[in-house]
Structure 1
Amino acid sequence: MIRTGLIGYGLGGCAFHAPLIDAVPELALTAIVTSRADAVRARYPQTKVVSEAAALFVDPQIELVVVSTPNDTHFPLAHAALEAGKHVVIDKPFANSVAEAEALVTLAEAQGTVLSVFHNRRWDSDFLTVRKLLDDRAVGEVALYEARWDRFRPALRDSWHEIAGPGGGVLIDLGPHLIDQALALFGPPQTLTADIIAQRAGSRVDDYFEITLHYGRMRAVLSSAAIVPAPRARFAVHGTRGSFVKYGLDPQEAQLRAGARADAPGLGVEEATQHGALIGGDGASQIVPSETGDYRRFYAGIAHAIADRAPPPVSPEDALAVLRIVELARQSAAEGRSLPFQ
């Protein structure tokens, strides 16, 4: 059993990390850093509650530290955990800058510890379906890949996500999910072009972005907007043999937020009404049942990496590439031009 300490029991810690860690047999949810002691004890009575992250760093029993806190704290907490010789998982984003992320990679290599980033959306039901269709060449040669994550939130919220600074805004919030998925499918682009703006009145952070990744003649368009009452397709993949179009989000987040166990039957299984459609060049359409999503696979991979020195499920290099895209996108939008990816 790999004794695991979790820093943070907000949405990320409560709905994602704690139930997933608890559902992987090789991991033990040993301690949680939070002020919400009653909430933890009600669900995880065997888990110790501590008030300071430093308690995890000095505890010789804790092998793995998971950082699920506001973005601005990812770097200092992860750095301290690595210095203490712990394996570390960081919720996305990896850090607020490429420079910070590179410092963490260097430290993890020096310490000989596992470092990974929670890009859980690689195990979304819809993304797994897209990946399978592309592996099967169901749409032929891809010409246009579109991935969008829209919301209808015209009112500003009292949240750290909407505080001006490098850790705020939708690009650093949802952008890493979309970017990581595109890189997992197609690898690094040659160039990119981005448009980033705050559309809501009074917003101090970006709430709209569209990034186009250039792959020769193929384009991957990644976008998110906060004022979309009727969401656009979550995925739309167009190729020489047809298109795949899919609406709606993977159900795991909603299920976990509602209190479902991560190993419950039916978790990650989409309703048939949410399945996407494959449309051929002749206009014929067929429904494609979604693959079953399973975020547990991330933490099972982390356990394997720690115990058996296997590659982590998300490598630090992959997470660094995501942040490089984020930084280049900001530069592209500011300068109004396409930029090479290096």
Structure 2
Amino acid sequence: MTKKLNIAYVGFGKSTNRYHIPFVKTRENIVIKRIVNRTLGKRPEQAELEATGTLFSTDINDIISDETIDLVVIVTPAFAHYDYAKQLLLAGKNVLCDKPLVETLAQAQELVSIAQEKKLFFMPFQNRRFDSDFLTIKKVIDTGYLGDLIDITVNMDHFRPADASQGENFDGAWYGHGVHMVDQMVSLFGKPQEVQYDIRATRDYDSVDDYFSVNLLYPNLRATVAATELAALPHPKWVLYGTRGTFIKNDVDQQENDLKVGLLPGTEGFGQDSPADFGQLTYYNQNGDRIVKTIPTVAGDYARVYDAAYDCLINGAEKLITDEQILTVIEILENGFKK
């Protein structure tokens, strides 16, 4: 019999109900035992979960005192991540925390140290490691079509000219979007030798940042992560240049778009690209022939973060995201606002 992983959520807002629970429901080896939220109503999502045995309350101590809980997933506003993660780790709970994990390297180091000392699982929910477009560019790199990679750029573009907002650095695009893209690059290439920053507010100069173009510099490679909220015509999502070829993937992963229209994981066609959205590869083979190929998109699946947590906690596998990677990402984010 397959061992079940009993999980609890802290937070029951849009992110929990869009990016977490629909994917967990596709995994029979994961059971949602408890959910704690500051306020409780009688939303259909709550009633549906209660009908299958999930317990709801407003007190995090209900999770802490429940010895059957194997993993606690924090999906609250980002400013609360540090306090909840520290409280849960000190109480001996394994923790998976939504992004951005925390604001400062010192906070991340403290939480990682507590987890190490208590031999607990602690990891951020970096679901975009399982974006279909990211998995596709990993495949292209691994096949060697491009030769030695010399330049890679990932863009996250929107056109939201009237959505400027107030807040702190932690509330802007660099922490909100950049955390995913930096993590993707760190997962591929490790810690960069140098980072060059351009982070700005472009819609309202008194608002939080809504634009960034940041270069992560490695030996013989520049990795650029960029985003803007003023792209009426977006950049390609990925552009890769190598010594033998170029790969361009114009469109984003479709999981989020499908979720927004009510298409759920596990249904036919969920998250799939149409052939018109496949990436285009141009390279020169060993004979000097110019080859143009369409590369079908690799299927994405955000539930694979939960699979990785299960394998670590139940089967003793290594963590998907190492402590070194956790600290590297937060250090790069925090340094973006240091003078």
- Aligned partner of 2:115 in structure 1 is 108
- Aligned partner of 1:41 in structure 2 is 46
**1:185 Cα offset (Å):** 1.4
- Aligned partner of 1:241 in structure 2 is 244
- Aligned-pair identity in percent equals 30
Output aligned runs, 1:283-322, within 5 Å.
Answer: 284-322=291-329
Cα distance in structure 1, aligned partners of 2:68 and 2:21: 18
- Aligned partner of 1:338 in structure 2 is none
RMSD: 1.8
Q: Are the aligned partners of 1:37 and 1:49 in contact in 2 as well (CA < 8 Å)?
A: no
**1:146 Cα offset (Å):** 0.4
User: Partner letter of residue 103 of structure 1?
Assistant: E
- Aligned partner of 2:29 in structure 1 is 26
Cα distance in structure 2, aligned partners of 1:61 and 1:234: 42
Residue 67 of structure 2 aligns to a residue whose secondary structure is coil
Greater shift, 36-45 or 164-173, is seen at 36-45
Which of residues 214, 222, 226 is equivalent to 1:223?
Answer: 226
Deviation sequence 1:92-117 (CA, Å, 0-9, x none)? 11211111111111111122211111
Instruction: Quickly say closer, same or farther: Cα 1:37–1:312, change in 2 above 3 A.
Output: farther
Cα distance in structure 2, aligned partners of 1:260 and 1:166: 33
Residue 231 of structure 1 aligns to a residue whose secondary structure is coil
Deviation sequence 1:155-201 (CA, Å, 0-9, x none)? 126xxxx4422421000001011101111111211111011110012
**1:284 Cα offset (Å):** 4.9
Gaps of 5+ in 2: none
Cα distance in structure 2, aligned partners of 1:146 and 1:127: 12
| TM-score, normalised via structure 1 length | 0.90
**1:22 Cα offset (Å):** 2.5
Moved over 6 A (4+): none
Gaps of 5+ in 1: 335-342
- Aligned partner of 1:135 in structure 2 is 142
Which of residues 61, 68, 73 is equivalent to 2:80?
Answer: 73
Residue 167 of structure 1 aligns to a residue whose secondary structure is helix
Deviation sequence 1:127-158 (CA, Å, 0-9, x none)? 1110011011111111110001011111126x
User: Partner letter of residue 121 of structure 2?
Assistant: V
Residue 23 of structure 1 aligns to a residue whose secondary structure is coil
Q: Are the aligned partners of 1:156 and 1:203 in contact in 2 as well (CA < 8 Å)?
A: no
User: Partner letter of residue 257 of structure 2?
Assistant: A
User: Between Structure 1 and Structure 2, how many residues are aligned?
Assistant: 328
Output aligned runs, 1:164-313, within 5 Å.
Answer: 164-201=167-204, 203-280=206-283, 284-313=291-320
Output aligned runs, 1:121-132, within 5 Å.
Answer: 121-132=128-139
| TM-score, normalised via structure 2 length | 0.91
User: Partner letter of residue 276 of structure 1?
Assistant: G
Instruction: Quickly say closer, same or farther: Cα 1:41–1:25, change in 2 above 3 A.
Output: same
Residue 33 of structure 2 aligns to a residue whose secondary structure is strand
Deviation sequence 1:262-289 (CA, Å, 0-9, x none)? 3334333222121110123576532110
Greater shift, 28-37 or 280-289, is seen at 280-289
Cα distance in structure 1, aligned partners of 2:190 and 2:323: 15
